Amino acid sequence: MVDLSQYLPILLFLGVALALSSAFVFLPIGVSRVTGAHKPTPEKLAEYECGFPAFEDSRSQFDVRFYLVAILFIIFDLEAAFIYPWAVSVFHLGWTAWFAMMIFIGELALGLAYAWKKGALDWE
């Protein structure tokens, strides 16, 4: 026979997690309704990112170059995130870490050169 009392801490943890996540989702909604912050007006419902109403269908396709530029941005953003902690600790890690980072930067440089040669960075 299995002793189910061993699962009590897990069930308590799941219950607390469910209660807290529900509170973080539904409590602000309830507070905004009570305090009057949820009164939609034309100004609140207006576009706020670009400043003018959309003039095309929202399901229109973007040019693939937009996605290529976004992917390249993410890659080089992650590169910066990896280089900073490496630069702080490179003297403690030794030559192996230095050569590993140079290989990493070389691969990224090759990728950038390839994207540049293929015209992924040219915008019309």
109-118 pLDDT per residue, tens: 898 888 888 8
**Tell me, what's the pLDDT at 22?**
97
**Tell me, what's the pLDDT at 17?**
97
Structure confidence by residue, pLDDT tens digits, 21-40? 999 999 998 888 888 766 77
CA distances, 59 to each of 50, 55, 56 (Å): 17, 12, 8
Q: Where are the alpha helices (DSSP H) in the chain?
A: 8-35, 64-93, 95-118
Structure confidence by residue, pLDDT tens digits, 40-71? 777 777 766 665 566 666 666 767 777 778 88
How many whole angstroms separate alpha carbon 24 and alpha carbon 32?
13
Burial of 79 (0-12, 13-18, 19+ CB in 10 A): middle
Structure confidence by residue, pLDDT tens digits, 73-91? 888 888 888 888 888 888 8
What DSSP state is assigned to residue 56?
S
Asked if 53 contacts 47 with a C-beta cutoff of 8 angstroms, the reply is: yes
